[in-house]
Amino acid sequence: MTAYGHGGDADGFQSRVGITTDGRAVTLVGTNDDAKVDELLALFDKALCAGR
């Protein structure tokens, strides 16, 4: 599956957003936790690909 998105970080916060090319799946992940970026991206991928 291909998705396009963007992410950003600011003092203690992380966010990622993405949408599939067909527009049928959108995912937004935000945290003020000390989660590692790879953990955040794994959660993001799992949510975006749910049901596939």
Detail the DSSP E strand segments found in the chain: 3-10, 13-20, 26-31
In the block, residue with structure tokens 């949408």: 19
Radius of gyration of the chain (CA): 11
The pLDDT score that the predictor gives to residue 41 is: 79
Q: CB of 1 within 8 A of CB of 48?
A: yes
Spatial distance between the Cα atoms of 31 and 23, rounded to a whole number of angstroms? 24
The tens digit of pLDDT for each residue in 7-48 reads 888 888 888 888 888 888 788 878 887 767 788 778 878 877
Task: Return the higher-pLDDT residue of 30 and 1.
Answer: 30
Q: Give the tokens for residue 26.
A: 């959108």
